[in-house]
Amino acid sequence: MDRTTSGITQCSLAEEILPPGRAVTPHHHRELEEIYYIISGRGLMKVGDEQSEVCAGDAVYVPRGHRHTLENTGDEPIRLLVVCGPAFFYEDEISDQR
């Protein structure tokens, strides 16, 4: 649920699936703050200069402006929820691929 599916503007919610061996393209946001909530699977979450192993039940806060990525290091897909505030919009995402 985001700006493309409803009139919501202050937050958004998305379910994502990240296959084994794949990673979210490193990026940051000008305006958005995010929470990644891991439903199942395991991986390595990097936010700014910090990184930590994550698994089901973990939540990670991503402040605006912080480069972040999630890599699936396990044998099964990672299912996660991503909450954004304000509501996600594609123009706010800036790729940090190097």
pLDDT tens by residue, 16-33? 999 999 999 999 999 999
Q: How confident is the model at residue 3 (pLDDT cuts 50, 70, 90)?
A: confident
Q: How confident is the model at residue 91 (pLDDT cuts 50, 70, 90)?
A: confident
What per-residue confidence (pLDDT) applies to 52? 97
Q: Is the bond leading into 86 cis (omega within 30 degrees of zero)?
A: yes
Domain membership flag for residue 60: yes
CA distance 89 to 48: 21
Q: Provide the whole-model pTM.
A: 0.91
Q: How many CB atoms lie within 10 A of CB 46?
A: 19
The total domain count for the chain is: 1
Q: How confident is the model at residue 75 (pLDDT cuts 50, 70, 90)?
A: very high
CA distance 52 to 65: 19
**3-class DSSP state for residue 76?**
coil
What CATH number is attached to the domain comprising 88?
A: 2.60.120.10
Q: How confident is the model at residue 98 (pLDDT cuts 50, 70, 90)?
A: low
> What tokens does 36 get?
């990644």
Domain membership flag for residue 1: no
